[in-house]
Amino acid sequence: MKNTVDQYLDHYAEPEAKNRQPLKKTFGHVVVVPAYDEPFEFAQAMLSSLGSDVLMIVVVNVPDHVDTQSPMYRRSKKLLRQLGAPNLLVVDRVNRPIPKNQGVGLARKIGADTALGYIRDDMIVEPHIYSVDADVELPNGYIPAKPRAEGTHLYSYRHVSTDPEVLRRAQLYEIHMRYYVAGLRLAGSPYAFHTLGSTISVSALAYAQVRGFPRREAAEDFYFLNKLSKVSKIHLTGSPEIIINARPSQRVPFGTGPSIASITEPDECYLSYNPQSFELLREVIDAISTDTEGSLGGASAITMNRLGYFDFVSRNPTIRQRHEWFDGFKTLRFIHLMRNVLPDVPLLKSITHQWPELPPDRIDLIARLRQEDRKPRLSGIPSLYR
Protein backbone atom coordinates (compact mmCIF):
# COMPACT_ATOMS: atom_id res chain seq x y z
CA MET A 1 0.00 0.00 0.00
CA LYS A 2 2.70 2.46 0.98
CA ASN A 3 4.23 2.61 -2.47
CA THR A 4 0.90 3.51 -4.11
CA VAL A 5 0.04 6.02 -1.39
CA ASP A 6 3.52 7.54 -1.47
CA GLN A 7 3.34 7.99 -5.23
CA TYR A 8 -0.04 9.66 -4.96
CA LEU A 9 1.04 12.03 -2.20
CA ASP A 10 4.25 12.90 -4.04
CA HIS A 11 2.71 13.51 -7.47
CA TYR A 12 -1.06 14.10 -7.23
CA ALA A 13 -1.93 15.45 -3.78
CA GLU A 14 -3.06 19.04 -3.28
CA PRO A 15 -0.60 21.56 -1.77
CA GLU A 16 -2.53 21.68 1.51
CA ALA A 17 -1.85 17.96 1.96
CA LYS A 18 1.83 18.27 1.14
CA ASN A 19 2.16 21.19 3.57
CA ARG A 20 0.00 19.64 6.28
CA GLN A 21 0.76 20.71 9.81
CA PRO A 22 2.01 18.09 12.29
CA LEU A 23 -0.63 16.63 14.59
CA LYS A 24 -0.08 16.71 18.34
CA LYS A 25 -1.54 13.26 18.88
CA THR A 26 -2.60 10.10 17.06
CA PHE A 27 -6.28 9.63 16.20
CA GLY A 28 -8.20 6.46 15.56
CA HIS A 29 -10.13 7.71 12.51
CA VAL A 30 -10.50 10.67 10.17
CA VAL A 31 -13.60 12.35 8.70
CA VAL A 32 -13.55 14.97 5.93
CA VAL A 33 -16.19 17.71 5.58
CA PRO A 34 -16.35 20.44 2.89
CA ALA A 35 -18.17 23.52 4.22
CA TYR A 36 -19.41 26.43 2.11
CA ASP A 37 -21.79 28.94 3.70
CA GLU A 38 -22.55 26.68 6.65
CA PRO A 39 -23.50 27.54 10.25
CA PHE A 40 -21.16 26.80 13.14
CA GLU A 41 -23.77 24.53 14.73
CA PHE A 42 -23.08 21.74 12.22
CA ALA A 43 -19.52 21.39 13.47
CA GLN A 44 -20.59 21.37 17.12
CA ALA A 45 -23.09 18.58 16.50
CA MET A 46 -20.69 16.54 14.38
CA LEU A 47 -17.78 16.84 16.81
CA SER A 48 -20.05 15.75 19.63
CA SER A 49 -21.26 12.67 17.77
CA LEU A 50 -17.81 11.62 16.55
CA GLY A 51 -15.93 11.85 19.84
CA SER A 52 -12.37 12.80 20.69
CA ASP A 53 -10.67 9.87 18.91
CA VAL A 54 -11.82 11.06 15.47
CA LEU A 55 -9.98 13.83 13.62
CA MET A 56 -12.44 16.01 11.71
CA ILE A 57 -10.95 17.92 8.76
CA VAL A 58 -13.19 20.79 7.67
CA VAL A 59 -12.36 22.52 4.39
CA VAL A 60 -14.08 25.90 4.68
CA ASN A 61 -14.36 27.23 1.15
CA VAL A 62 -16.04 29.66 -1.22
CA PRO A 63 -15.92 29.67 -5.03
CA ASP A 64 -13.89 32.44 -6.61
CA HIS A 65 -16.87 34.10 -8.30
CA VAL A 66 -18.54 34.97 -4.96
CA ASP A 67 -18.39 38.68 -4.04
CA THR A 68 -16.35 39.28 -0.89
CA GLN A 69 -19.15 41.53 0.40
CA SER A 70 -21.85 38.89 -0.13
CA PRO A 71 -23.63 37.20 2.80
CA MET A 72 -22.25 33.79 1.68
CA TYR A 73 -18.67 35.03 1.84
CA ARG A 74 -19.18 36.78 5.19
CA ARG A 75 -20.80 33.73 6.75
CA SER A 76 -17.91 31.56 5.56
CA LYS A 77 -15.39 34.00 7.05
CA LYS A 78 -17.34 33.91 10.31
CA LEU A 79 -17.27 30.11 10.33
CA LEU A 80 -13.48 30.19 9.94
CA ARG A 81 -13.21 32.34 13.07
CA GLN A 82 -15.56 30.16 15.09
CA LEU A 83 -14.09 26.74 14.38
CA GLY A 84 -11.73 25.31 16.94
CA ALA A 85 -11.33 22.06 18.90
CA PRO A 86 -8.50 19.64 19.79
CA ASN A 87 -9.76 17.09 17.26
CA LEU A 88 -10.60 19.62 14.54
CA LEU A 89 -8.33 20.65 11.66
CA VAL A 90 -9.53 23.61 9.58
CA VAL A 91 -8.35 24.23 6.02
CA ASP A 92 -8.90 27.81 4.83
CA ARG A 93 -10.03 28.12 1.22
CA VAL A 94 -11.99 31.30 1.90
CA ASN A 95 -9.08 33.70 1.78
CA ARG A 96 -7.87 31.77 -1.25
CA PRO A 97 -11.17 30.87 -2.95
CA ILE A 98 -11.62 27.71 -4.97
CA PRO A 99 -12.00 28.00 -8.76
CA LYS A 100 -15.73 27.88 -9.53
CA ASN A 101 -15.47 24.97 -11.96
CA GLN A 102 -13.61 22.87 -9.35
CA GLY A 103 -16.01 23.58 -6.47
CA VAL A 104 -16.88 20.93 -3.93
CA GLY A 105 -14.79 18.31 -5.72
CA LEU A 106 -11.58 20.21 -5.00
CA ALA A 107 -12.72 20.90 -1.42
CA ARG A 108 -13.27 17.17 -0.85
CA LYS A 109 -9.94 16.34 -2.49
CA ILE A 110 -8.03 18.81 -0.32
CA GLY A 111 -9.52 17.31 2.83
CA ALA A 112 -9.13 13.68 1.76
CA ASP A 113 -5.58 14.20 0.48
CA THR A 114 -4.68 15.71 3.84
CA ALA A 115 -6.29 12.77 5.63
CA LEU A 116 -4.31 10.38 3.43
CA GLY A 117 -1.10 12.15 4.40
CA TYR A 118 -1.83 11.66 8.09
CA ILE A 119 -2.66 8.00 7.47
CA ARG A 120 0.70 7.61 5.74
CA ASP A 121 2.34 9.36 8.71
CA ASP A 122 0.76 6.77 11.03
CA MET A 123 -1.11 9.56 12.81
CA ILE A 124 -4.46 7.95 11.91
CA VAL A 125 -4.82 4.34 13.04
CA GLU A 126 -7.57 3.16 10.68
CA PRO A 127 -6.39 3.51 7.04
CA HIS A 128 -9.81 4.68 5.92
CA ILE A 129 -11.17 8.10 4.87
CA TYR A 130 -14.76 9.00 5.82
CA SER A 131 -16.55 11.61 3.68
CA VAL A 132 -19.61 13.57 4.80
CA ASP A 133 -21.29 16.92 4.16
CA ALA A 134 -22.20 19.63 6.63
CA ASP A 135 -25.94 18.98 6.22
CA VAL A 136 -25.91 15.48 7.72
CA GLU A 137 -26.60 13.98 11.11
CA LEU A 138 -24.25 11.11 11.89
CA PRO A 139 -25.89 8.05 13.49
CA ASN A 140 -24.64 6.01 16.42
CA GLY A 141 -22.15 3.49 15.10
CA TYR A 142 -21.11 5.70 12.17
CA ILE A 143 -17.50 4.76 12.88
CA PRO A 144 -17.61 0.94 13.05
CA ALA A 145 -16.24 -0.88 16.08
CA LYS A 146 -14.34 -3.35 13.88
CA PRO A 147 -11.83 -2.38 11.15
CA ARG A 148 -13.36 -2.14 7.70
CA ALA A 149 -12.41 -4.40 4.82
CA GLU A 150 -10.24 -2.97 2.05
CA GLY A 151 -12.23 -1.06 -0.58
CA THR A 152 -15.19 1.31 -0.60
CA HIS A 153 -18.13 1.32 1.80
CA LEU A 154 -21.42 3.16 1.22
CA TYR A 155 -23.92 3.98 3.97
CA SER A 156 -27.68 3.95 3.68
CA TYR A 157 -29.31 7.37 3.83
CA ARG A 158 -32.59 9.25 4.10
CA HIS A 159 -33.64 12.88 3.64
CA VAL A 160 -35.50 14.72 6.39
CA SER A 161 -36.98 18.20 6.78
CA THR A 162 -39.27 20.04 9.19
CA ASP A 163 -40.81 21.84 6.19
CA PRO A 164 -43.57 19.59 4.73
CA GLU A 165 -43.17 20.91 1.17
CA VAL A 166 -39.38 20.61 1.19
CA LEU A 167 -39.73 17.09 2.58
CA ARG A 168 -42.23 16.16 -0.16
CA ARG A 169 -39.87 17.36 -2.87
CA ALA A 170 -36.88 15.67 -1.27
CA GLN A 171 -38.78 12.40 -1.02
CA LEU A 172 -39.77 12.55 -4.68
CA TYR A 173 -36.17 13.12 -5.69
CA GLU A 174 -34.98 10.38 -3.32
CA ILE A 175 -37.50 7.95 -4.86
CA HIS A 176 -36.20 8.92 -8.30
CA MET A 177 -32.62 8.13 -7.22
CA ARG A 178 -33.60 4.87 -5.56
CA TYR A 179 -35.71 3.89 -8.57
CA TYR A 180 -32.69 4.38 -10.82
CA VAL A 181 -30.45 2.19 -8.65
CA ALA A 182 -33.20 -0.42 -8.35
CA GLY A 183 -33.48 -0.43 -12.14
CA LEU A 184 -29.73 -0.99 -12.47
CA ARG A 185 -29.91 -3.78 -9.92
CA LEU A 186 -32.76 -5.42 -11.84
CA ALA A 187 -30.69 -5.17 -15.02
CA GLY A 188 -27.70 -6.87 -13.37
CA SER A 189 -25.43 -3.83 -13.55
CA PRO A 190 -22.24 -3.87 -11.41
CA TYR A 191 -22.82 -0.11 -10.95
CA ALA A 192 -26.06 -0.42 -8.97
CA PHE A 193 -25.23 1.81 -6.01
CA HIS A 194 -26.02 5.32 -4.80
CA THR A 195 -23.49 8.09 -5.37
CA LEU A 196 -23.86 10.62 -2.57
CA GLY A 197 -20.76 12.30 -1.16
CA SER A 198 -22.13 12.09 2.38
CA THR A 199 -22.32 8.29 2.33
CA ILE A 200 -18.76 7.35 1.26
CA SER A 201 -15.91 5.82 3.18
CA VAL A 202 -12.88 4.57 1.30
CA SER A 203 -9.66 2.79 2.13
CA ALA A 204 -6.41 4.71 1.74
CA LEU A 205 -5.15 2.33 -0.94
CA ALA A 206 -8.28 2.52 -3.10
CA TYR A 207 -8.34 6.32 -2.75
CA ALA A 208 -4.76 6.59 -3.98
CA GLN A 209 -5.35 4.10 -6.81
CA VAL A 210 -7.99 6.36 -8.40
CA ARG A 211 -6.04 9.56 -7.68
CA GLY A 212 -8.57 11.03 -5.31
CA PHE A 213 -11.73 13.02 -5.79
CA PRO A 214 -12.19 14.70 -9.19
CA ARG A 215 -11.93 18.51 -9.11
CA ARG A 216 -15.49 19.21 -10.21
CA GLU A 217 -18.16 21.68 -9.09
CA ALA A 218 -20.79 18.91 -9.09
CA ALA A 219 -21.11 15.12 -9.51
CA GLU A 220 -17.62 14.62 -8.07
CA ASP A 221 -19.05 11.81 -5.92
CA PHE A 222 -20.52 10.08 -8.99
CA TYR A 223 -17.26 10.15 -10.96
CA PHE A 224 -15.20 9.22 -7.89
CA LEU A 225 -17.29 6.14 -7.21
CA ASN A 226 -17.34 5.27 -10.90
CA LYS A 227 -13.53 5.06 -10.79
CA LEU A 228 -13.49 3.23 -7.46
CA SER A 229 -15.94 0.59 -8.68
CA LYS A 230 -13.33 -0.60 -11.19
CA VAL A 231 -10.52 -1.13 -8.67
CA SER A 232 -12.29 -1.93 -5.38
CA LYS A 233 -15.31 -3.79 -4.14
CA ILE A 234 -18.24 -1.52 -3.28
CA HIS A 235 -19.64 -2.64 0.07
CA LEU A 236 -23.24 -1.48 0.57
CA THR A 237 -23.32 -1.57 4.35
CA GLY A 238 -27.08 -1.40 4.92
CA SER A 239 -26.80 0.27 8.33
CA PRO A 240 -26.41 2.59 10.12
CA GLU A 241 -28.25 5.27 8.15
CA ILE A 242 -26.99 8.78 7.36
CA ILE A 243 -29.63 11.47 7.94
CA ILE A 244 -29.44 14.23 5.30
CA ASN A 245 -31.19 17.51 6.04
CA ALA A 246 -32.97 18.34 2.80
CA ARG A 247 -32.71 21.94 1.63
CA PRO A 248 -33.21 23.79 -1.66
CA SER A 249 -29.90 25.04 -2.98
CA GLN A 250 -28.29 26.55 -6.07
CA ARG A 251 -24.71 26.21 -4.84
CA VAL A 252 -24.09 23.49 -7.43
CA PRO A 253 -25.52 23.34 -10.99
CA PHE A 254 -27.34 20.04 -10.48
CA GLY A 255 -27.99 17.43 -7.82
CA THR A 256 -30.20 17.14 -4.77
CA GLY A 257 -30.34 20.82 -3.75
CA PRO A 258 -31.23 22.21 -7.20
CA SER A 259 -33.70 19.37 -7.78
CA ILE A 260 -35.53 20.10 -4.53
CA ALA A 261 -35.65 23.79 -5.51
CA SER A 262 -37.06 23.05 -8.98
CA ILE A 263 -39.80 20.49 -8.20
CA THR A 264 -43.21 22.14 -8.35
CA GLU A 265 -45.50 19.45 -9.78
CA PRO A 266 -47.73 17.22 -7.61
CA ASP A 267 -46.60 13.69 -6.78
CA GLU A 268 -48.54 12.00 -9.56
CA CYS A 269 -47.05 14.27 -12.26
CA TYR A 270 -43.35 14.02 -11.30
CA LEU A 271 -41.56 12.30 -14.20
CA SER A 272 -38.72 9.80 -14.28
CA TYR A 273 -37.23 7.15 -16.57
CA ASN A 274 -39.42 4.80 -18.56
CA PRO A 275 -39.24 1.33 -16.91
CA GLN A 276 -38.79 -0.32 -20.30
CA SER A 277 -35.40 1.35 -20.62
CA PHE A 278 -34.12 -0.82 -17.74
CA GLU A 279 -35.47 -3.92 -19.46
CA LEU A 280 -33.43 -3.02 -22.55
CA LEU A 281 -30.44 -2.32 -20.32
CA ARG A 282 -30.74 -5.84 -18.92
CA GLU A 283 -30.58 -7.22 -22.47
CA VAL A 284 -27.44 -5.17 -23.11
CA ILE A 285 -25.73 -6.30 -19.90
CA ASP A 286 -26.62 -9.93 -20.59
CA ALA A 287 -25.13 -9.59 -24.09
CA ILE A 288 -21.94 -8.02 -22.71
CA SER A 289 -21.59 -10.78 -20.11
CA THR A 290 -22.03 -13.57 -22.66
CA ASP A 291 -20.10 -12.06 -25.59
CA THR A 292 -23.26 -12.00 -27.72
CA GLU A 293 -23.48 -8.30 -28.63
CA GLY A 294 -24.37 -9.29 -32.17
CA SER A 295 -27.77 -10.39 -30.92
CA LEU A 296 -28.71 -6.85 -29.95
CA GLY A 297 -31.13 -5.04 -32.22
CA GLY A 298 -33.42 -2.05 -32.45
CA ALA A 299 -33.01 0.87 -30.05
CA SER A 300 -30.50 -1.00 -27.87
CA ALA A 301 -28.10 -1.59 -30.76
CA ILE A 302 -28.53 1.95 -32.09
CA THR A 303 -27.84 3.44 -28.66
CA MET A 304 -24.80 1.25 -27.98
CA ASN A 305 -23.45 2.17 -31.39
CA ARG A 306 -23.89 5.86 -30.55
CA LEU A 307 -21.91 5.27 -27.37
CA GLY A 308 -19.08 3.72 -29.42
CA TYR A 309 -19.41 0.25 -27.97
CA PHE A 310 -19.21 -1.76 -31.19
CA ASP A 311 -16.01 0.00 -32.21
CA PHE A 312 -14.57 -0.80 -28.79
CA VAL A 313 -15.64 -4.46 -28.83
CA SER A 314 -14.06 -4.95 -32.28
CA ARG A 315 -10.70 -4.95 -30.45
CA ASN A 316 -11.72 -8.20 -28.71
CA PRO A 317 -11.60 -7.04 -25.08
CA THR A 318 -12.22 -9.42 -22.19
CA ILE A 319 -15.62 -9.58 -20.50
CA ARG A 320 -14.23 -7.64 -17.55
CA GLN A 321 -12.85 -4.95 -19.88
CA ARG A 322 -16.25 -4.69 -21.55
CA HIS A 323 -17.96 -4.09 -18.21
CA GLU A 324 -15.28 -1.56 -17.25
CA TRP A 325 -15.92 0.27 -20.52
CA PHE A 326 -19.70 0.21 -20.12
CA ASP A 327 -19.33 1.83 -16.73
CA GLY A 328 -21.62 3.86 -14.51
CA PHE A 329 -21.29 6.96 -16.67
CA LYS A 330 -22.03 5.16 -19.95
CA THR A 331 -24.88 3.29 -18.27
CA LEU A 332 -26.43 6.61 -17.27
CA ARG A 333 -25.92 7.92 -20.82
CA PHE A 334 -27.61 4.79 -22.18
CA ILE A 335 -30.68 5.40 -19.99
CA HIS A 336 -30.76 9.08 -20.97
CA LEU A 337 -30.42 8.31 -24.69
CA MET A 338 -33.27 5.81 -24.45
CA ARG A 339 -35.50 8.80 -23.70
CA ASN A 340 -35.44 9.45 -27.47
CA VAL A 341 -37.65 6.38 -27.98
CA LEU A 342 -39.02 5.81 -24.46
CA PRO A 343 -40.11 9.15 -22.99
CA ASP A 344 -40.23 9.72 -19.25
CA VAL A 345 -43.38 8.65 -17.42
CA PRO A 346 -44.81 9.63 -14.00
CA LEU A 347 -42.42 8.27 -11.39
CA LEU A 348 -44.93 6.63 -9.06
CA LYS A 349 -46.64 4.95 -12.01
CA SER A 350 -43.35 3.75 -13.49
CA ILE A 351 -42.29 2.08 -10.24
CA THR A 352 -45.59 0.29 -9.73
CA HIS A 353 -45.45 -0.87 -13.36
CA GLN A 354 -41.99 -2.34 -12.79
CA TRP A 355 -42.75 -3.65 -9.31
CA PRO A 356 -46.55 -4.13 -9.02
CA GLU A 357 -46.23 -5.36 -5.42
CA LEU A 358 -45.04 -1.89 -4.31
CA PRO A 359 -47.66 0.62 -3.07
CA PRO A 360 -48.38 3.67 -5.29
CA ASP A 361 -48.31 6.10 -2.35
CA ARG A 362 -45.17 8.26 -1.97
CA ILE A 363 -44.81 7.63 1.78
CA ASP A 364 -45.28 3.87 1.56
CA LEU A 365 -43.16 3.66 -1.57
CA ILE A 366 -40.13 5.42 -0.13
CA ALA A 367 -40.32 3.23 2.97
CA ARG A 368 -40.24 0.08 0.84
CA LEU A 369 -37.40 1.33 -1.34
CA ARG A 370 -35.35 2.33 1.71
CA GLN A 371 -35.95 -1.10 3.20
CA GLU A 372 -34.71 -2.71 0.00
CA ASP A 373 -31.60 -0.51 -0.10
CA ARG A 374 -30.73 -1.37 3.51
CA LYS A 375 -29.93 -4.95 2.50
CA PRO A 376 -26.12 -5.38 2.63
CA ARG A 377 -24.69 -6.10 -0.80
CA LEU A 378 -21.48 -6.15 -2.80
CA SER A 379 -21.20 -4.24 -6.05
CA GLY A 380 -18.48 -3.04 -8.42
CA ILE A 381 -16.40 -4.87 -11.00
CA PRO A 382 -14.01 -6.59 -8.53
CA SER A 383 -17.01 -8.23 -6.82
CA LEU A 384 -17.70 -10.06 -10.10
CA TYR A 385 -14.23 -10.47 -11.62
CA ARG A 386 -11.04 -11.01 -9.65
Q: Could you give the percent of the chain with pLDDT greater than 90? A: 88
Q: Are residues 54 and 201 in the same domain?
A: yes
Q: How much is the pLDDT for 251? A: 63
Q: Are residues 144 and 75 in the same domain?
A: yes
| Last residue in a domain, options 225, 241, 262 | 262
Q: Are residues 197 and 295 in the same domain?
A: no
| Last residue in a domain, options 214, 230, 262 | 262
Q: How much is the pLDDT for 324? A: 97
Q: Are residues 57 and 205 in the same domain?
A: yes
The torsion angles phi and psi of 94, rounded to 5 degrees, stand at -95, -50
- For 11-35, write each residue's pLDDT tens digit: 999 999 999 999 999 999 999 999 9
Q: Is residue 182 part of a domain?
A: no
The torsion angles phi and psi of 308, rounded to 5 degrees, stand at 90, 15
Q: How much is the pLDDT for 312? A: 97
* 3-state secondary structure at position 228: helix
- For 228-287, write each residue's pLDDT tens digit: 999 999 999 988 999 999 988 766 666 677 888 889 999 999 999 999 999 999 999 999
- For 109-136, write each residue's pLDDT tens digit: 999 999 999 999 999 999 999 999 999 9
CATH number at residue 158: 3.90.550
Average pLDDT, the chain: 94
Q: Which residues pair with 93 in a beta bridge?
A: 61
Q: Is residue 343 part of a domain?
A: yes
Q: How much is the pLDDT for 252? A: 62
| Cα(372)–Cα(178) distance, integer angstroms | 9
Mean pLDDT of 131-143: 96
What is the DSSP pairing of strand 152-160 with strand 200-203?
A: antiparallel
Number of domains into which the chain is organized: 2
| Last residue in a domain, options 204, 229, 262 | 262
Buried b (16+ CB within 10 A) or exposed e, 27-37: bebbbbbbbbb
- For 290-333, write each residue's pLDDT tens digit: 999 888 999 999 999 999 999 999 999 999 999 999 999 999 99
Sequence-distant (6+) residues with CB within 8 A of 218 are 103, 104, 105, 252, 253, 254, 255
3-state DSSP helix/strand/coil % of the chain, to nearest 5: 50, 20, 35
Q: Are residues 124 and 147 in the same domain?
A: yes
| Cα(64)–Cα(97) distance, integer angstroms | 5
Q: Is residue 201 part of a domain?
A: yes
Q: Are residues 26 and 133 in the same domain?
A: yes
Q: How much is the pLDDT for 361? A: 87
**pLDDT higher than threshold 70 for residue 81:** yes
What does the DSSP assignment read for 86-98? TTEEEEEEEEEEE
Q: Are residues 364 and 249 in the same domain?
A: no
Q: How much is the pLDDT for 374? A: 93
Q: Is residue 245 part of a domain?
A: yes
Q: Are residues 293 and 168 in the same domain?
A: no
Q: Which domain holds residue 323?
A: 272-372
Tell me how far apart the terminal alpha carbons of the chain are, to the nearest angstrom: 18
| pLDDT: which is higher, 257 or 154 | 154
